[in-house]
């Protein structure tokens, strides 16, 4: 088909080959005249097509090229392992990368069962009742409409449904949890030695912090008393210490050892909290779980639709064979259909996850732009994701941050392209298998 | 229990007992299998209903919060629907005219679509009617990658590369302008137009194509006079879905289009889209639970209604079309 096109100088040849019109001798003259201009149009159109189709390649090359050129100089180990410092040369994206891994892993764990389950329900079950059929077609229609909902709207839904949980837990408005498990609250006191005025020049008195456990976060501040047992971090473990309280009228002790154990009786402690890895709260707040659930809303329709296509591609003879052997609906699905469709489902799921990784708007809506220095430690921990960090850097005025943003984009694109590559390889393997 | 019955039978009649034992055992297994089937079926139905729940809660949340927005004294429905002045952050002279945001959205979408539609349609025609296999094998992944690149990357590209280029071309371009966001949105949308239009072209029966070619038409004739008209509804649906997608796109406009809502047709000027406003609200330090916070929901609801109606229309048109030929 492409070879006949090369013979531009002999239009009649092209006409015969392309259109397959042999044309009777009698009106050859007429046909040729007509076909001449039509062939010319066809060739011109084909050329225009090639050029326009080539534009997409040019755009991609230009896009990737300009970003790599801008980002390559800033690409460094610091970018991968560092925290987002305000100083451009030390800025890194480690918390963002860790946040992306957390959010997307949890999102995949929640979304895949629901998505594949819905696809199986629509594709594999033929309800006998009219109501059931109606329900299925309603679900199908609903999914194709959900796929068109802008992700930013899902962000708004996530903000209401997961972050504040429709305000069902009254305290949601100021972001405080109404219910929580796995948090321990402490009141933190500093000793007198940390105050240069009160320590009265006793040099070898060290600065120490004492923690007094509090039952609930809403309790009033602890009032320190002499002889009270508080805790102190020695390395990673909490050790009990007995403290000494100095009132406003008392003189601070002169013995350095005693001074380092003394606390001002009027001092107001700072409330700090320790959260275990299983920390859980209601409403979820602006944590990892809320982000993962919001991303679930975004990619659920994508996963359902691609899984449906994969299930549809399984030849029905396989199902009929299994059914003929007496297998129940679920036995057919579990032993025959799902294994046969699994490469397709996997490919679709990987592509959907790569979309989740790059999704910025919903995360921006529910998490906001916050300064995060640590990787998340529990499901309710605050977090940021790589695209959001890139957005943050891009929207800053300093040029240096733009270069770092470009480097961050390079990291993001490498992750996404490797996801895509895995999907493409899987698809090719699957095609080979079918052949 | 049943086994005990079977054993007592065994003393009287051996064959009967064995048959009974077999029957009772298989019946018991069947019972548990049925139970399991029922349980799994229920779980799957729950999965299916979950997607319905999402729609219901989107509509519920957006509707209630929008109603709450309209209960504020500063807000009137007439102002919201009849004005193009969107200034929710200007203390005393607050005005909530949604057209200020819709016009910005339409301007950027219009620019994007002016690029994406012809590009996407012609690429689709090329892929489906002309392209040899080798070209397809290259072009398809390129389009997939273009569609898979996150929008924040396009936003960066718009702000850092397209805008300086536009400013170099013409000095009137603002740092944030609608043109740059529209141009960056084009390549983001066109793979989608392309793949949907290609689907539509593909589902035209081969007989129509062969008929046109057999009558002596060139490929161009066949495409323009036969295949395109036959695939028209599919292509229209592709356009509608792509426009819906483009309207809801967020990060490019948030980065490149600016944050000054105004009803203008000048693509060199700074504008704000509906999505851009939502991002500004969520990302900024706007006091929670004021009028401007709830205006975010009203904007989201408007956006949702627009995209939903476009998507539904697109799906409807496509379904009609499919019924004609399948």
DSSP letters for A197-234: TTTTT-TTPPP-EEEEEESSTTSPPPPP-TT-EEEEEE
Measure the CA–CA gap between B118 and B133, rounded to whole angstroms. 23
Residues 202-231 of B with CB under 8 A from A: 213-221, 223
pLDDT bracket for residue A299 (50, 70, 90): very high
Collect all residues of chain A within an 8 Å Cβ-Cβ radius of residue B65.
160
- Asked whether the beta carbons of residue B275 and residue A369 sit closer than 8 angstroms, the reply is no
Phi, psi values for residue B306, rounded to 5°? -65, -50
- Best mutation target among B137, B180, B220 (most A Cβ atoms within 10 Å) is B220
Q: Residues 87 to 146 of B: which have CB under 8 A from any A CB?
A: 118-119, 122-123, 125-127, 130-132, 135, 138-139, 141-146
Q: Are residues B198 and B231 in the same domain?
A: yes
Going by their DSSP bridges, the two strands B86-87 and B95-96 should be labelled as antiparallel
Using a 10 angstrom Cβ sphere, with 0-12 exposed, 13-18 middle and 19 or more buried, the burial of residue A180 is: middle
How sure is the predictor about A22, in pLDDT bands with cuts at 50, 70 and 90? very low
Paired residues of A187 in beta bridges: A212, A271
Q: How far apart are CA B257 and CA A390, in angstroms?
A: 17
User: Best interface-test mutation with A: which of B53, B131, B216 has the largest number of A CBs within 10 A?
Assistant: B216
**Cβ–Cβ of A173/B218 closer than 8 Å?**
no
Q: State how far the alpha carbon of B17 is from the alpha carbons of B12, B21, B26, B164, in Å.
A: 8, 6, 14, 91
Counting one residue from A and one from B, how many pairs have CB atoms under 8 Å apart? 279
Beta-carbon separation of B221 and A38 below 8 A: yes
Q: Do A150 and B43 touch (CB under 8 A)?
A: no
The chain B residue lying nearest A15, using CA atoms, is B218
**Cβ-nearest to B51 among A46, A155, A300:** A300
**pLDDT-above-90 percentage for chain A:** 30
B30 and B101: one domain? no
HSE at residue A240, side-chain half, CA atoms within 13 A, is 5
Residues B104, B146, single domain; the answer is yes
CB contact residues (below 8 A), chain B span 223-282, against chain A: 223, 241, 244-245, 247-251, 254-255, 275, 278-279, 282
pLDDT average, residue stretch B221-231 = 88
Confirm or reject contact between B191 and chain A (CB < 8 A): yes
Question: Does residue B174 sit in the same domain as residue B239?
Answer: yes
CA distances from B223 to A7, A313, A374, B121, B188 (A): 21, 29, 58, 12, 26
From chain A, pick out residues whose CB is under 8 angstroms from the CB of B223. 45
* Three-class DSSP category at B224: helix
> Please, are residues A366 and A288 in contact by the beta-carbon 8 Å criterion?
no
Does the distance separating the beta carbons of B144 and A56 come in below 8 Å?
no
Residue A284 has which token pair?
């979820």
| A287 touches A381 (CB < 8 A) | yes
Q: What is the pLDDT of residue A182?
A: 79
Q: What is the DSSP string of B287-312?
A: PTTSHHHHHHHHHHHHHHHHHHHHHH
Asked if residue A291 lies in contact with residue A372, where contact means CB atoms within 8 angstroms, the answer is no
Question: Residue B287's pLDDT band (boundaries 50, 70, 90)?
Answer: low
Least confident of A181-185, A385-389, B131-135: A181-185
Q: Tell me, what's the pLDDT at A23?
A: 45
Q: Are residues B142 and B45 in the same domain?
A: no
Q: Which of A118, A138, A152 sits opposite B275 (nearest CB)?
A: A152
Percent of chain B with pLDDT over 90: 29
Using the predicted structure, report yes or no on whether residue B213 has a pLDDT greater than 70: yes
Region for A89 from its dihedrals, namely left if φ exceeds 0, alpha if ψ lies in -120 to 50, beta otherwise: alpha
Of B130, B144, B214, the CB nearest to A46: B130
Q: Residues B105, B248: one domain?
A: yes
Residues of B in contact with A413 (CB under 8 A): 149, 153
Contacts of B43 in chain A (CB under 8 A): 117
The pLDDT assigned to A386 comes to 92
A102 pLDDT exceeds 50? Answer: yes
Residues of chain B in contact with residue A48, where contact means CB-CB under 8 angstroms, are: 122
Is B51 in the A-facing interface, judged by CB distances under 8 Å?
yes
B31 close contact with A: CB closer than 8 A: no
- pLDDT, averaged across chain B: 84
What is the length of chain A? 435
- Do B49 and B84 belong together in one domain? no
Tell whether B64 and B171 lie within a shared domain: no
Residue of A nearest to B118 (CA): A52
Cα(A49)–Cα(A53) distance, integer angstroms = 6
| Rounded distance between C-alpha atoms, residue A97 and residue A388, angstroms | 10
Could you tell me which residue, A13 or B233, shows the higher pLDDT?
Answer: B233
Predicted local confidence at residue A3, as pLDDT: 42
Separation in Å, CA of B2 to nearest CA in chain A? 25
Which chain B residues are within 8 Å of A147, Cβ to Cβ?
311
Selection from A219, A359, A379, A201 nearest residue A295 by Cα: A359
CA angle A253, A255, A258 (to 5 degrees): 70
CB contact under 8 A, B146 and A173: no
- Per-residue model confidence (pLDDT) at position A202: 58
Q: What is the DSSP letter of B90?
A: S
DSSP A72: G
Q: Which of B132, B156, B190 minimises the CB distance to A390?
A: B156
pLDDT over 50 (residue B305): yes
Residue B140 structural domain? 79-325
Q: Determine, for residues A139 and B153 on separate chains, whether the beta-carbon distance falls below 8 Å.
A: no
Whether chain A has a CB inside 8 Å of the CB on B157: the answer is yes
CATH code for residues A77-168+284-434: 1.10.3720.10
Chain A, nearest residue to B211 by Cα: A19
Flag whether residue B42 sits within 8 Å of chain A, measured between CB atoms. no
Are B118 and B13 found together in one domain?
no
**Closest Cβ–Cβ partner in A56, A330, A405 for B146:** A56
The confidence score (pLDDT) of residue A18 equals 42
Do B144 and B52 lie in a common domain?
A: no
Partner residue facing A117 (CB), from B44, B161, B289: B44
Would you kindly state where each structural domain of chain A is located, as residue ranges? 4-69, 77-168+284-434, 179-280
What is d(CA A242, CA A240) in angstroms, rounded to the nearest whole number?
Answer: 7
Q: Searching chain A, which residue's CA lies closest to the CA of residue B161?
A: A66
Same domain, B144 and B61: no
**Which are the contacts of B257, defined by CB distance < 8 A and separation ≥ 6?**
B104, B108, B176, B177, B178, B180, B181, B270, B271, B272, B273, B276
First vs last Cα of chain B: how many Å apart? Answer: 57
CATH no. for residue B118? 1.10.3720.10
Same domain for B198 and B86, yes or no, is yes
Contact B245, B189 (CB under 8 A): yes
Q: Please state, in angstroms and rounded to a whole number, the distance separating the CA atoms of residues B15 and B19.
A: 6
A66 vs B contacts (CB less than 8 Å) = 157, 160-161
Output phi, psi for A196, to 5 deg. -60, -25
Q: Give A116's contacts (C-beta < 8 A, 6+ positions apart).
A: A303, A307, A338, A345
Domain count of the fold of chain B = 2
The minimum CA-CA distance between B4 and chain A, rounded to whole Å, is: 29
* A370 vs B contacts (CB less than 8 Å): none
Residue B27 pLDDT greater than 90, yes or no? no
Q: Is B12 exposed, middle or buried (0-12, 13-18, 19+ CB in 10 A)?
A: exposed
Of the candidates A112, A267, A286, A282, the one whose C-alpha atom is nearest the C-alpha of residue A191 is A267
Say if the Cβ atoms of B150 and A42 lie within 8 Å. Answer: no
CB burial readout B131-168, b (16+ within 10 A) else e: beeebeeebbebbebbbbbbbbbbbbbbbbbbbeebbe
Query: What distances in angstroms separate CA A144 from CA A120, A141, A408, B312, one per listed residue?
Result: 16, 5, 33, 8
Residues of B in contact with A424 (CB under 8 A): 141
Instruction: State ipTM.
Output: 0.86
Domain end residue (candidates: B42, B70, B98): B70
The DSSP string of A366-389 is: HH-S----S---STT-----HHHH
Interface test with A, best of B282, B293, B314 (most A CBs within 10 A): B282
Asked if B213 and A19 come within 8 Å (Cβ–Cβ), the reply is yes
Compute how many other C-beta atoms are within 10 angstroms of the C-beta atom of residue A223: 14
Quick: pLDDT tens for A122-141.
Answer: 998 888 889 989 999 999 99
Q: Which residue has the higher pLDDT, A29 or A314?
A: A314
For A204-262, write each residue's pLDDT tens digit.
667 778 888 887 777 777 777 777 778 887 777 778 888 778 776 777 777 777 777 77
Tell me which residue in B118, B156, B218 faces A406 most closely, judged by beta carbons. Answer: B156
Alpha carbon distance A48, A42 (integer Å)? 10
**How close A179 gets to chain B, by Cα (Å)?**
22
What confidence tens digit (pLDDT) does each residue in B103-128 have?
Answer: 999 999 999 999 999 889 999 999 98
Q: What was the pLDDT predicted at A186? A: 83
A139: nearest Cα among B92, B88, B47 = B47
DSSP string, A242-280: E-EEE-SSSPPPSSHHHHHTEEETTPPPEEEEEEEEEEE
Final residue in a domain of this structure, among B70, B102, B117? B70
Mean local confidence (pLDDT), B216-221? 87
Quick: pLDDT tens for A51-95: 988 888 899 999 999 999 988 888 888 888 888 888 877 888 899
Q: Give me the residue from B138, B150, B307 closest to A412, CB to CB.
A: B150
């Amino acid at each position: 088909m492409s070879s006949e096109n090369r013979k531009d100088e002999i239009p009649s040849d092209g006409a015969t080959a392309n259109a397959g019109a042999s044309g009777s001798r009698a009106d050859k003259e007429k046909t040729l005249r007509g076909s001449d201009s039509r062939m010319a149009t066809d060739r011109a159109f084909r050329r225009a097509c090639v050029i326009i189709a080539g534009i997409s390649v040019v755009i991609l090359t230009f896009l990737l090229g300009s970003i790599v050129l801008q980002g390559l100089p800033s690409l460094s180990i610091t970018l991968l392992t560092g925290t987002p410092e305000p100083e451009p040369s030390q800025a890194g994206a480690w918390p963002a990368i860790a946040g992306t891994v957390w959010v997307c892993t949890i999102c995949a764990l929640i979304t895949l069962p629901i998505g594949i389950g819905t696809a199986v329900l629509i594709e594999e079950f033929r309800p006998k009742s009219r109501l059931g059929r109606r329900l299925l077609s309603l679900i199908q229609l609903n999914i194709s409409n959900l796929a068109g909902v802008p992700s930013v709207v899902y962000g708004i839904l996530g903000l209401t449904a997961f972050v504040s949980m429709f305000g069902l837990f009254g305290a949601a408005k100021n972001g405080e949890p109404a219910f929580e498990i796995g948090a321990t609250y402490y009141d933190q006191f500093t000793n007198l030695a940390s105050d240069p005025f009160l320590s009265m020049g006793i040099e070898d008195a060290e600065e120490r912090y004492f923690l007094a456990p509090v039952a609930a976060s809403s309790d009033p501040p602890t009032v320190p008393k002499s002889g009270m047992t508080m805790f102190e971090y020695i390395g990673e473990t909490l050790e009990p210490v007995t403290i000494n309280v100095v009132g406003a009228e008392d003189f601070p002790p002169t013995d350095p050892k005693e001074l380092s154990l003394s606390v001002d009786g009027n001092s107001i402690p700072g409330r700090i909290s320790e959260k275990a890895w299983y920390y859980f709260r209601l409403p979820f707040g602006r944590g990892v779980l809320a982000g993962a659930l919001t991303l679930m809303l975004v990619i659920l329709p994508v996963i359902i639709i691609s899984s449906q296509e994969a299930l549809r591609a399984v030849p029905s003879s396989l199902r009929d064979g299994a059914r003929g052997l007496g297998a129940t609906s679920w036995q057919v699905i579990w032993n025959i259909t799902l294994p046969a469709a699994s490469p397709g489902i996997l490919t679709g799921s990987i592509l959907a996850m790569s979309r989740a990784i790059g999704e910025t708007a919903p995360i921006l809506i529910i998490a906001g732009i916050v300064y995060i220095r640590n990787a998340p430690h529990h499901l309710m921990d605050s977090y940021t994701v790589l695209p959001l960090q890139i957005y943050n850097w891009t929207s800053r005025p300093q040029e240096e941050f733009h270069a770092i943003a470009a480097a961050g984009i390079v990291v993001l694109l490498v992750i996404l392209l490797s996801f895509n590559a895995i999907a493409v390889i899987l698809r090719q393997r699957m095609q080979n298998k079918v052949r | 229990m049943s086994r005990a019955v079977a054993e007592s039978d065994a003393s009287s009649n051996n064959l009967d007992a064995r048959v009974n034992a077999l029957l009772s055992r298989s019946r018991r297994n069947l019972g548990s299998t049925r139970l399991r089937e029922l349980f799994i079926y229920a779980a799957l139905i729950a999965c299916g209903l979950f997607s319905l729940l999402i729609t219901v809660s989107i509509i519920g949340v957006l509707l209630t919060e929008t109603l709450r927005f309209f209960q504020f004294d500063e807000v009137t429905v007439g102002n919201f629907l009849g004005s193009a002045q969107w200034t929710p952050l200007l203390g005393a002279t607050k005005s909530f005219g949604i057209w200020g945001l819709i016009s910005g959205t339409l301007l950027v979408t219009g620019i994007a679509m002016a690029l994406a539609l012809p590009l996407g349609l012609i690429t689709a025609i090329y892929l489906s009617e002309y392209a040899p296999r080798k070209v397809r094998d290259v072009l398809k992944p390129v389009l997939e990658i273009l569609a898979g690149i996150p929008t924040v990357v396009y936003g960066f590209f718009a702000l850092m590369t397209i805008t300086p280029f536009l400013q170099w071309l013409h000095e009137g371009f603002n740092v944030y302008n609608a043109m740059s966001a529209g141009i960056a949105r084009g390549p983001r949308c066109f793979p989608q137009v392309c793949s949907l239009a290609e689907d539509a072209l593909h589902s035209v029966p081969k007989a129509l194509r062969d008929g046109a070619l057999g009558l002596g038409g060139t490929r161009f004739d066949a495409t323009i006079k036969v295949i395109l008209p036959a695939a028209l509804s599919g292509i229209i649906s592709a356009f509608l879905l792509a426009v819906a997608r483009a309207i809801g796109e967020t990060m490019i406009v948030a980065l490149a289009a600016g944050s000054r809502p105004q009803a203008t047709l000048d693509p060199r000027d700074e504008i704000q889209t509906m999505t851009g406003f939502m991002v500004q609200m969520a990302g900024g330090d706007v006091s929670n639970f004021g009028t401007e916070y709830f205006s975010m929901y009203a904007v989201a609801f408007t956006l949702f209604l627009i995209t939903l109606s476009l998507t539904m229309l697109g799906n409807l048109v496509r379904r009609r079309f499919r019924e004609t030929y399948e």
